[in-house]
Amino acid sequence: MRRLTKKKALTLVKELDAFPKVPESYVESTASGGTVSLIAFTLMAVLAFLEFFVYRNTWMRYEYEVDKDFSSKLRINIDITVAMRCQYIGADVLDLAETMVASDGLKYEPVNFELSPQQRLWHIEDSSTSLNACRIHGHLYVNKVAGNFHITVGKSIPHPRGHAHLAALVSHDTYNFSHRIDHLSFGEAIPGIISPLDGTEKVSPDPNHMFQYFITIVPTKLNTYKVSADTHQYSVTERERMINHAAGSHGVSGIFMKYDISSLMVKVTEQHMPLWQFLVRLCGIIGGIFSTTGMLHGMVGFLVDVVCCRFQIGIYRHLKVNKSMIVNFELKPL
Is there a single domain that holds both residue 212 and residue 285? no
Is there a single domain that holds both residue 99 and residue 142? yes
* 245 pLDDT more than 70: no
How far, in Å, CA of 113 to CA of 85, rounded? 10
Q: Which band of pLDDT confidence, cut at 50, 70 and 90, is reported for residue 331?
A: very low
What is the identity of the amino acid at 222?
L
* 233 pLDDT more than 80: yes
Of residues 222, 212, 227, the one with CA closest to residue 265: 222
For the entire predicted model, the pTM comes to 0.66
In a domain, 49, yes or no: yes
Is there a single domain that holds both residue 87 and residue 59? no
Is there a single domain that holds both residue 207 and residue 292? no
In a domain, 198, yes or no: yes
In a domain, 238, yes or no: yes
| CA atoms 183, 188, 256, 173: torsion sign | negative
* 66 pLDDT more than 50: yes
| pLDDT one-digit tens code per residue, 128-185 | 567 889 999 999 898 888 889 999 888 777 666 666 777 667 777 778 899 999 999 9
Is there a single domain that holds both residue 207 and residue 243? yes
Of residues 138, 114, 134, the one with CA closest to residue 126: 114
* 21 pLDDT more than 50: yes
How far, in Å, CA of 174 to CA of 170, rounded? 7
How far, in Å, CA of 238 to CA of 22, rounded? 77
Is there a single domain that holds both residue 85 and residue 151? yes
In a domain, 278, yes or no: yes
In a domain, 333, yes or no: no
Q: Which pLDDT value is given to residue 314? A: 57
Domain boundary among 210, 229, 262: 262
Is there a single domain that holds both residue 136 and residue 89? yes
Domain hosting 289: range is 32-67+272-305
Domain boundary among 209, 227, 262: 262
Our count of domains for the chain comes to 2
Is there a single domain that holds both residue 215 and residue 90? yes
Is there a single domain that holds both residue 96 and residue 156? yes
Q: How far is CA 204 from CA 50, 90, 177, 304, in A?
A: 54, 18, 6, 82
Is there a single domain that holds both residue 251 and residue 156? yes
209-223 and 254-261 as β-strands: parallel, antiparallel, unpaired? parallel
Three-state DSSP at 15 gives helix
Mean pLDDT of the chain: 79
In a domain, 322, yes or no: no
Is there a single domain that holds both residue 161 and residue 284? no
Largest distance between two CA atoms of the chain? 146
Is there a single domain that holds both residue 82 and residue 208? yes
Q: Which pLDDT value is given to residue 193? A: 81
What is the identity of the amino acid at 162?
G
Lowest mean pLDDT segment, chosen from 96-110, 123-137, 158-172, 194-208:
158-172
In a domain, 328, yes or no: no
